[in-house]
Amino acid sequence: MTLPGTYVLRRLLIALPSLLGISIVLFTVLALAPGDPFGDIVSNPNIPADVAANLRLKFGMDDPVAVRYLRWLTAMLQGDWGFSFASRIDVDTLIMQRLWTTLLVIGSSQVLALLIALPVGIYAATRPYSLFDQVANTLTFIGFSLPTFFTGLLLILVFSIQLDWLPFVYRSDISATGWRFFWEHFRQTIMPVSVLALFQAASWTRYVRSAALDVIRLDYVTTARSKGLKERVVIMKHVVRNALIPVVTLVALQLPAIFGGAIVTEQIFRVPGIGSLLISAILANDTPVIMAVTFVFSCLVISFNLLADILYGWLDPRISLR
Amino acid sequence: MTERELRGLIEAVRKGSITRRQFVGTMLGVGIAAPIAGQLLMHAGIAQAQPASTYKGTKRGGGGALKVLWWQGATLLNPHFATGTKDQDGSRIFYEPLAGWDTEGNLIPVLAAETPTPANGGVSRDGKSITWKLKRDVQWHDGKPFTSADVVFNWEYAADPATSAVTIGSYKDVVATAVDAYTVRVDYKKASPFWADPFVGTRGMLIPKHLFEAYKGAKSRDAPNNLKPVGTGPYKFDSFTPGDMVRGTLNANYHMPNRPFFDTIEMKGGGDAVSAARAVLQTGEFDYAWNLQVEDEILAKLEQGGKGRVVIIPGGDIEFIQFNFTDPWNEVDGERASIKSKHPLFTDPAVREAMNLLIDRDSVQKFIYGRTGIATANFVNNPPKYRSPNNKFEFNVDKANQVLETAGWKKGSDGIREKGGKKLKVVYQTSVNQPRQKAQAIVKQAAQKAGIDIELKTVTASVFFSSDFANPDVYTKLFCDMQMYTTTMTQPDPEIFMNQYVSWEISSKANKWQGRNVTRWTSDEYDKAYRDAEGELDPVKRTALFIKMNDLVIQNRVIVPLVSRPRVRASNLKLKVPESGWDSDFWALQDWYRDA
Amino acid sequence: MVAPVRRAATVSLTQDIWRRFKRHRLALFGAVILLVIIAGVAIGPWLWTVPINEIDFNARLKPPSWQHPFGTDDLGQDLFSRMLYGGRISIAVGLAAMTIAIVVGTIIGAIAGMSRGLVDTFLMWLTDLFLSLPQLPLLLLIIYLFRDSLKKIVGAETGVFIMIVVVIGGFRWMPVARLVRAQFLSLREKEFVEAARALGASRLRQVARHILPNALGPVIVAGTIDVAAAIIAESTLSFLGLGFPPDIPTWGRVLFDAKDYLDTSPYWALFPGTLIFLTVLSINYIGDGLRDALDPRRVL
């Protein structure tokens, strides 16, 4: 493997212009996309037409796209994330208000999904077509055949309405203190986290199983086995390590979502996360919010994919990236 | 009821030979809405007795938490920037107007000491000037006194174009003057039959001068109190997450005795209407839910949960189908649906008449909207005084076939009628919304039986209802043959509502499709009736004019009204809420309480 | 001299794969289910002639019966004929979009994985870009830019179909590309590839005969997941006005319509849910069978 230091440095240097390029594309798409933030105002007969025109002028929306992009870029470089049309406050305040909830809910669901997918997938791969494998397979197919809007509703019907065990409206500011605070938070987090984790775990399990299955068949595993190594050691040392390459790829693809949120699930359980902020901003055509969220999201995409590339080298030292 | 009889009755109330309540009852009996009955009396100079409040609380506080669910959360809390009802409702927790509308359309004083009337000198004889007397013992949440300077400041703030307040329409053409510390006079440019707009209801909420004075005009967006309201309302500001949660705690210095009942209020946002209904009706997690645009069948099933009930509040909103009178498929002078063109099919009255017969309003009500949408033949349905008695609707496929046959539209080999090489094929669009898609299906099936082929089209609401003039799918362009949506009536007076058919409001390229007349139908008769109504101070004559306008639109089949849509809310069984179809849900938040 | 030998080898390889595939019982089972479903939606509407949009208010929300094998929805429309009709579109969209995602993803991933330096960097930048794009505004933009012009060129139905398939496929190839690239990075350094390289195998041959077959595992998994995702995504698109008109009962759409009646009429959601599940299941078993059959080292 070549010296990772120079490789990482080079990739980081490339990341800057690529981010700039992505930001230009994002901005152009948003500027050209149909819809406008003051639709409500224009269609309301009680509001004179020039109010919307004034607002457009005030927020500089009638300037050419290039001018608006440069204005956004210079502001962003100075740490100014923009100003929301819909809420008339700074975008970073809006995002910070929702960041912790998003990290908590989406983050724990991803961890949970990984904790399910890795052991189940590997165990199923070591015994292909066994009873365990078949059951796990069937469950995973059900898992990704059913969309989250459906499983979410199913959980609500069972656990909130039939059994009355769990609340289904998420509240980020619970007034209780001490243990009760944690208990209440735990109770309301169970359903959104499970819905997301099960959906994610279903597909990850399939990938892990398939990756492990591929590796188990490769020559060197057979060699290791024939050398008389214990099955457990073979699995842990050779199979898991190599099977992790696709898993690392997938996890890196999925991790930015911890920031981006999960739109459908947040909507169902009313989790005040960044996903629901994004969707309401999109529906209200609140471009500064959309731009800020997607831009941070793309920063994360780039850095996690870079991280994945570095991890490949560590998982399989023969991989050389130059 | 003739004009003369009406005047007789009003006189009887003045002399005291019948009570106000009896008068309103009589009016309701002949189809005149209570708000209008109230206005009739008010105009005739008869002061209204303050309706008895239903509030039964005996002390301030002690009611615990009030939890309400708005499936679109408030995004801002400055009432002068509040565009949607969600923002107006969020602001109304903390801010109050001089007066609000009750569900009968009575003007109820809030920060005013009394409602202006001709009798108490509040309304001038020429209808050009209104004098408000303010309550004297009101404090802002920070302890500063509320005075006429605050009222005048709100006028200056909203009327300044640089502030970009969405309330500007109510304030720009009036002048507010402080007569003394507790009296404000509002002068109108011309005689105003409907004067109760500035300082009243959702556009009348008042912000404190001492906190916003420095942020009038171009700096309005920088005011720190845009996010931290300091008002006069029953609850003080606690915290706010845009789109998610508004929280308030009891205002110990509230200006009405023994109010409010609840210690805290939480207004949670987000999610969808069905699950909001579940949270109130089935699990009781929340006390009250807003705007439940859900099929009634689902609501009725959820109601069996036994925790709450569905509340239906009559209003003026209407779901209707518009026909295009211009040609949306060919450009004239570089403009689709140009006013110079004629629609190839709908300019034939027989086709519009047939469509009118093919729309099964009873089924749309019975199987889709239920209690939440009442089948109607009129464009103006509320207040009931404006509801025309002259129209009926009918669903009759055979008759529609006959009408088309007589007019020369013959069925081709594919079952679709045609005449002169033009086939009866139309595109019918609406926004993405489940009940609307079902209504589309019902119309399409009936039309098929009459040899009309309908192509259904849906546009996502954020595009359909936007003002983006580059997009062809915006509803004000009507770049298709027919479309369906709900138009809202925000005041108990139809003047603004009825400008949707006047010739100077035609939506066209020249006004960037921001005109209100979307069908592009015009009529000199209609224009004249509208002009007359604008300056008519006699409420009875004015009412007759609005009924005439309604009938012109209906009988020419410019549009087909489907259902009148009342406000639909869900409330806990024990919660007592004074509702109103003409003001914010929170118009009387101080009177909300819970039975033991 | 060389050419006939090679052709003989290819023929026997194909036969060999088919022989191996046939031995894979689950794969055969999957193929049979999928064929039954496809045959059902292809000829079903000819046999079961109840119209899909016949509204009957007297037969609303009826559970399954002989008259309505799958029951009726809240307008009294026959769900069986709706499922048959909608299945054509759902399966076609699912398979076509999956194919686009897999083919584009594999090609980009393979090129990036085999080449180094600038090409790899650029392709991964492109992948990152597509991953970052906010889908909703972009979809609205696409509808706005292309819907009407596409309709004019190829007609309403084909136009909508092409757009949906391209949009869904175009938003789902990125994970495949990254997965394939990662597999390639690892595989191209493995002994058997080095051996082939040492023997003078061309680059294309290295990829086609040695690396790609071993990289197919994640591709096949991605393929099955994408079929399910595409069927569901189609219904989401119709809420943006991009999908088929609202009266066309695709499986995803029926499932969505059914959700609010889940507690009172569960059968309504059961049928589309089960059919999507069975389709995904069978495609996956076929994929597993293919992969095993393609695996040269596996003795069957």
- At C3, the pLDDT band (50, 70, 90 cuts) reads very low
Q: What is the CATH number of the domain that holds C171?
A: 1.10.3720.10
Instruction: Give the domain extent around C190.
Output: 18-43+78-294
Which of B85, B202, B275 is the best residue to mutate to test the A interface, defined by the most A CB atoms within 10 Å of its own CB? B275
Q: In angstroms, what CA-CA distances link B562 with A281, B394, B480, B536, B549?
A: 32, 12, 19, 30, 18
Q: Which of C55, C140, C246 sits opposite B445 (nearest CB)?
A: C55
Considering only CB atoms, which chain B residues are within 8 Å of A278?
none
Which residues in chain B are closer than 8 Å to C142, comparing Cβ atoms?
none
A19, A134, A141: which to substitute to probe chain C, counting the most C Cβ within 10 Å?
A141
Measured distance CA(B484)–CA(B488) in Å, rounded:
13
Q: The domain B104-222 belongs to what CATH superfamily?
A: Dipeptide-binding Protein; Domain 1 (3.90.76.10)
Look at C189 and A214 and tell me if their CB atoms are within 8 Å.
no
**Which residue of C138, C221, C263 is in closest CB contact with A210?**
C221
Q: Which of C156, C239, C245 faces B460 most closely, judged by CB atoms?
A: C239
Kindly tell me if the per-residue pLDDT of C291 is higher than 80.
Answer: no
Report how far residue A188's alpha carbon sits from residue A148's, in angstroms, rounded to the nearest whole number. 17
- Rounded (10°) angle between helices A91-126 and A241-254: 150
Question: How many whole angstroms separate alpha carbon C98 and alpha carbon B287?
Answer: 46
Rg over alpha carbons for chain A, rounded to the nearest Å, is 24
The partner residue sitting opposite A39, judged by closest CB among B203, B278, B467, is B467
C-alpha distances in angstroms, B7 versus A90, B26, B418, B540?
A: 58, 13, 55, 9
Q: Which residues of chain B have pLDDT under 70?
A: 1-5, 14-19, 21, 24-25, 27-52, 467-469
Contact B160, B216 (CB under 8 A): yes
Gap between the terminal Cα atoms of chain C: 32
Q: Rounded to a whole number, what is the distance in Å from the CA of B471 to chain C's nearest CA?
A: 7
- Measure the CA–CA gap between C8 and B276, rounded to whole angstroms: 68
Angle at B274 between CA B272 and CA B275, to 5 degrees: 70
The superfamily CATH assigns to domain A5-31+98-315 is: MetI-like (1.10.3720.10)
Chain A residues with CB inside 8 Å of B203's CB? 46
Residue with tokens 């210095």: B253
- Residue C199 lies inside a defined structural domain of this protein: yes
Nearest-by-CA chain C residue for B457: C245
Contact partners of A by the rule of 3+ C-beta pairs under 8 A?
Answer: B, C
Instruction: Tokens for B328, please give them.
Output: 């949306």
CATH superfamily assigned to domain B318-565: Dipeptide-binding Protein; Domain 3 (3.10.105.10)
- Looking at residue B2, its pLDDT comes to 60
**Longest alpha-carbon distance in chain A:** 84
A-chain residues within 8 Å CB-CB of B162? 54
Q: Is the pLDDT of residue A37 over 80?
A: no
**A317 and A242 in contact (C-beta within 8 Å)?**
no
- CB contacts under 8 A, B 43-62 vs C, are none
Residues A87, B490: C-beta atoms closer than 8 Å: no
More confident residue, C10 or B186: B186
Residues C79-95: pLDDT tens digits?
A: 998 989 889 889 999 99
Query: CA of A178, closest CA in chain C: separation in Å?
Result: 37
Residue C170 within any structural domain of the chain = yes
Task: Say yes or no: C238 contacts chain A, CB-CB below 8 A.
Answer: no
- Residues of chain B positioned with their CB less than 8 A from the CB of C245: 455-458
Residue A47 to chain B, least CA–CA distance (Å)? 5
Residue carrying structure tokens 């599940």: C277
Residues B75, A270: C-beta atoms closer than 8 Å: no
- Cβ separation of A147 and C255 shorter than 8 Å? yes
Residues of C in contact with B444 (CB under 8 A): 53, 247
Residue B221 is given by DSSP the state G
For residue C185, being part of any structural domain is answered with: yes
Structure token pair of residue B205: 């909420």
CA distance C4 to chain A (A): 32
| CA distance linking residue C162 with residue B166, whole number of Å | 43
- Given a contact cutoff of 8 angstroms between Cβ atoms, the answer to whether C271 and B487 are in contact is no
Q: What is the pLDDT of residue A320?
A: 65
In this predicted model, what pLDDT tens digit does every residue of A273-308 receive, in sequence order? 888 888 888 878 888 898 898 888 888 888 888 888
Q: Is there a domain that residue C71 lies in?
A: no
Helix (H, G, I), strand (E, B) or coil at A117: helix
Query: Is residue B248 helix, strand or coil?
Result: strand
Answer whether B563's CB lies under 8 Å from B376's CB: yes
Q: Taking CA C246 as the corner, what is the angle to CA C244 and CA C252, rounded to the nearest 5 degrees?
A: 75
Identify which of A147-156, A196-205, B150-159 has the greatest average pLDDT.
Answer: B150-159
Q: What are phi and psi of A277, to 5 degrees?
A: -60, -45
Residue B244's identity, in one-letter code, is D
The predicted-structure confidence for A172-183, as pLDDT tens digits, reads as follows 777 777 788 888
The domain locations on chain A are: 5-31+98-315
Query: What is the structure's pLDDT at A151?
Result: 87
Domain locations in chain B as residue ranges:
3-43, 104-222, 318-565
Identify the helix (H) or strand (E) that includes residue B456. Answer: strand B453-459
Task: Produce one character per residue of A188-211: b if its CB has 16 or more CB atoms within 10 Å, e if not.
Answer: bbebbbbbbbbbbbbbbbbbbbbb
CB contact under 8 Å between A150 and C295, yes or no, is no
- Tell me whether B294 touches chain C (CB under 8 Å): yes
Q: Is the pLDDT higher at B22 or at C46?
A: C46
Tokens of C290: 């293919």
* Contacts with A44 from chain B: Cβ below 8 Å: 83, 166, 490
**Per-residue pLDDT, C104:** 95
CA dihedral over B362, B364, B369, B370, signed as positive or negative: positive
Phi-psi label, residue B270: left if phi above 0, alpha if psi -120 to 50, beta otherwise: left
Helix ranges, B138-286 (H):
148-159, 168-171, 209-212, 273-277
CA B201 to chain centre: 12
**Which pLDDT belongs to residue C146?**
77
Among C121, C191, C232, select the one facing A147 at the smallest CB separation.
Answer: C232
Contacts of B275 in chain A (CB under 8 A): 156, 168, 268, 270
The pLDDT, as a whole number, for residue A322 is 52
Average pLDDT estimate for C143-163:
76
A94 vs B: CB within 8 A: yes
Chain C residues with CB inside 8 Å of A210's CB? Answer: 217-218, 220-221, 291
B partners (3+ CB pairs within 8 A) are A, C
Q: What is the pLDDT of residue B4?
A: 66
Selected residue with higher pLDDT from B398 and C144: B398
For B296, phi then psi, to 5°, come to: -65, -30
Kindly state whether C257 is in contact with chain B, defined as any CB-CB distance less than 8 angstroms.
yes
Q: Identify the helix (H) or strand (E) that includes residue C10.
A: helix C2-23
The pLDDT mean for chain A works out to: 82
Cβ atoms within 10 Å of C88's Cβ, excluding its own = 17
Q: Report the pLDDT value the prediction gives residue C300, as an integer from 0 to 100.
A: 42
Domain count, chain C: 1
Residues 75-104 of B with CB under 8 A from C: none
Whether C241 and B458 have beta carbons less than 8 Å apart is answered as yes
Residue C2 pLDDT: 39
Contacts of A29 in chain C (CB under 8 A): 133-134, 137-138, 141
pLDDT band at C235 (very low <50, low <70, confident <90, very high): confident
Cβ–Cβ below 8 Å for A285 and B490? no
Instruction: Place C260 in a pLDDT band, splitting at 50, 70 and 90.
Output: confident
The end-to-end CA distance of chain B, in Å, is 45
Is there a contact between C140 and B460 if contact means CB atoms under 8 Å apart? yes
**The dihedral of CA B41, B45, B46, B47: what is its sign?**
positive
Q: Which residues of C fall within a CB distance of 8 Å from B473?
A: 144, 241
Render B378-420 in DSSP notation, one character per residue.
Answer: -S--SSGGG--SS------HHHHHHHHHHTT-EE-TTS-EEET
Q: E strand or H helix at B588, and its extent?
A: none
Q: Using an 8 Å CB-CB cutoff, list chain A residues near C167.
A: none
Tell me, rounded to whole angstroms, the distance of Cα C244 from its chain centroid. 18
Q: Establish if C39 touches chain A: CB-CB under 8 angstroms.
A: no
In this predicted structure, what is the pLDDT of residue B14?
Answer: 67
Position A258 scores a pLDDT of: 78
